[in-house]
Amino acid sequence: MPTIRQVILRIAAIIAVAEFAAMLLLEYLPYAPGTLGEALIDVAMLSMISIPMIYFWVIKPFVQVRDAALAQISHLANTDPLTELFNRRHLLEHLHRTISSCSRNKFIGALILIDLDGFKPVNDTYGHDAGDVVLVTIAKRFLAAMRAEELVCRLGGDEFIVLVNYLSEDENDARKNAQSIAEKLIGEASQPIRHENHELVVGASAGICLIRGDQQAAATILRNADVALYKAKEAGKGHAQLFD
């Protein structure tokens, strides 16, 4: 971004160029325009030359830098720095919209909470770099496995959330579809990961809460998914449990 001194120098240079052009024009006019005419010509030349130059040389660069900075701030505020997935803040914003959409359109979505099984032993045995590789790799797998309109987030640690906007309008079909998606994600997480000649293996468990939009609160949906996840782990891990 240009400094204040650079901005002042640029504006001064633009005005000097415009004024020089105006004086040059007045010098070579074949007739004397008079005091008022000279003033009008001077103003017109200043406007025609300085306004475009100030916009392209001063204002536009400033706006571009400002917009880039705002976009970067928004990105940092809404994404997880390690995996580049959306974070809890963005999830809650999107979840509120999903609840309203399900209520308005009378269809069912789902929030799937996924926790990695065996992640701590990988971290302890191979180090945090290996743990980071596992998290980044699984994040990419989840993104590739889901449709573009579905939201994949990392809550922190080894917890992920997938928000599915639409499953079905039928309750039974929605349950089957949610279970199928969760099992697919568990399968993706369970595939071995190569890192520095080591094969890193973790598993995953999932808790599912259907989103019907019938005045459900976002905090309640998250809590219900967490309850379902706890039951899935109690059942022996590697399972997907639907909150009922």
Supply 129's token pair: 């770099």
158: annotated active-site residue: yes
DSSP assignment letter at 82: T
Which tokens hold the place of 188?
A: 């993706």
Q: What are phi and psi of 44, to 5 degrees?
A: -65, -45
What is the Cα–Cα distance from 209 to 66, expressed in whole angstroms?
41
Q: Which entry of 80, 115, 117, 158 is annotated as an active-site residue?
A: 158
Sequence-distant (≥ 6) Cβ neighbours of residue 120 within 8 angstroms: none
Which DSSP string corresponds to 100-147?
HHHHHHT-EEEEEEEEEESHHHHHHHH-HHHHHHHHHHHHHHHHHHS-
How many CB atoms sit inside 10 A of residue 14's CB? 19
User: Edge to edge, what strands does the sheet with 159-168 contain?
Assistant: 151-156, 159-168, 108-117, 203-211, 240-242
CA distance to 58, 69, 140, per residue, from 65 (Å): 11, 6, 30
Active site residues: 158
